[in-house]
Amino acid sequence: MKTGLNPHMTRRSMLEGVAVGTVAPLTKSEAASRTDAGAEPALDVMLEVNGKRHALTLDPRTTLLDALREHLDLTGSKKGCDHGQCGACTVLADGRRVLSCLTLAAAVRGPVTTIEGLAEDGRLHPMQQAFIDQDAFQCGYCTPGQIMSAVGCVQEGHAEADADIREYMSGNLCRCAAYPNIVAAIRQAKPLMRRS
């Protein structure tokens, strides 16, 4: 009985063949045909980021995070999980907190503020200064998202009590567990933000 299988193929040689086939690079013509076949037409997008307007031509699937990091060289917002679960990519869009890894750049209508846009006239924003004063970070990877979320938390009126702060900051994870210091930083910055 013929099975159609190569009688000299072993399990190992079959797995090696599959592995090579999945990681082998495409030729230029193969890559071009795949790109052309599945490519979306580029979109002209106007983004106002940190007070400056930027005209960009983007793939419609480009997230705000990728537009900021790869097209505008604003690398303060971090790509932590890329699934909207850690908050490291938090920015303010039209004054509201958004997860830039889940937000399409083409969908943004209002001004965007990133961590790079908080300081004014060479002076740190009160929240940035409070994070330093209260030692509210350790490794610093989540800090830009934490600060942007903290600014949003105060502006939204959710920083009245420590329990409220913890609840409304719960979407921002800190693997170093600086949470008590983050709450203290928000308490310090809140009255100063009202004056500025």
Answer with the residue of higher pLDDT: 85 or 41: 85
| Same domain flag for 110 and 149 | no
| Same domain flag for 74 and 141 | no
Query: DSSP alpha helices (H): ranges in the chain?
Result: 11-23, 28-38, 64-66, 126-133, 143-155, 162-168, 179-195
| Same domain flag for 49 and 108 | yes
pLDDT value of position 132: 98
Examine residue 7 and state whether it is found in any structural domain, yes or no: no
How many domains in the chain?
Answer: 2
Using the predicted structure, report yes or no on whether residue 23 has a pLDDT greater than 60.
Answer: no
pLDDT value of position 164: 97
Tokens 């009202």 found at: 194
| Same domain flag for 86 and 143 | no
Last residue of a domain, one of 98, 117, 136: 117
> Could you tell me what percent of the chain has a pLDDT over 90?
78
Using the predicted structure, report yes or no on whether residue 13 has a pLDDT greater than 80.
Answer: no
Task: Please tell me the distance from the alpha carbon of residue 98 to that of residue 145, in angstroms, as a whole number.
Answer: 10
CATH number of the domain enclosing 96: 3.10.20.30
Examine residue 2 and state whether it is found in any structural domain, yes or no: no
Mean pLDDT within 138-153? 97
pLDDT value of position 16: 58
Q: Residue 48 to residues 45, 68, 105, 112, 184: CA-CA distances in angstroms? A: 10, 11, 11, 6, 32
pTM, entire model: 0.79
Task: Please tell me the distance from the alpha carbon of residue 90 to that of residue 97, in angstroms, as a whole number.
Answer: 6
Examine residue 32 and state whether it is found in any structural domain, yes or no: no
Examine residue 132 and state whether it is found in any structural domain, yes or no: yes
Task: Please tell me the distance from the alpha carbon of residue 135 to that of residue 171, in angstroms, as a whole number.
Answer: 20
Mean pLDDT within 77-104? 97
Mean pLDDT within 79-108? 97
Under the banding of pLDDT at 50, 70 and 90, the label for residue 11 is low
List, in sequence order, every residue forming a beta bridge with 123; answer none if it has no partner: 120
Examine residue 30 and state whether it is found in any structural domain, yes or no: no
| Same domain flag for 105 and 130 | no
CATH number of the domain enclosing 152: 1.10.150.120
Under the banding of pLDDT at 50, 70 and 90, the label for residue 17 is low
Last residue of a domain, one of 78, 94, 117: 117
Under the banding of pLDDT at 50, 70 and 90, the label for residue 40 is confident
Last residue of a domain, one of 93, 117, 141: 117
Cβ within 8 Å of residue 91, ≥6 positions away: 64, 68, 77, 97, 98, 100, 112, 113, 114, 115, 148
| Same domain flag for 68 and 99 | yes
> CA-based angle 35:79:46, to the nearest 5?
65
pLDDT value of position 44: 96
| Same domain flag for 74 and 130 | no
Examine residue 185 and state whether it is found in any structural domain, yes or no: yes
Which of 100-104, 180-184, 190-194 is predicted least confidently? 190-194
Q: Residue 111 to residues 35, 54, 62, 160, 162: CA-CA distances in angstroms? A: 32, 11, 17, 26, 29
Which of 30-44, 86-100, 167-181 is predicted least confidently? 30-44
| Same domain flag for 63 and 104 | yes
Spatial contact of 149 and 170, defined as CB atoms under 8 Å apart: no
Q: How many CB atoms lie within 10 A of CB 135?
A: 12
Examine residue 95 and state whether it is found in any structural domain, yes or no: yes
Domain membership of residue 161 as a residue range: 126-195
Tokens 């409070």 found at: 130
pLDDT value of position 194: 74
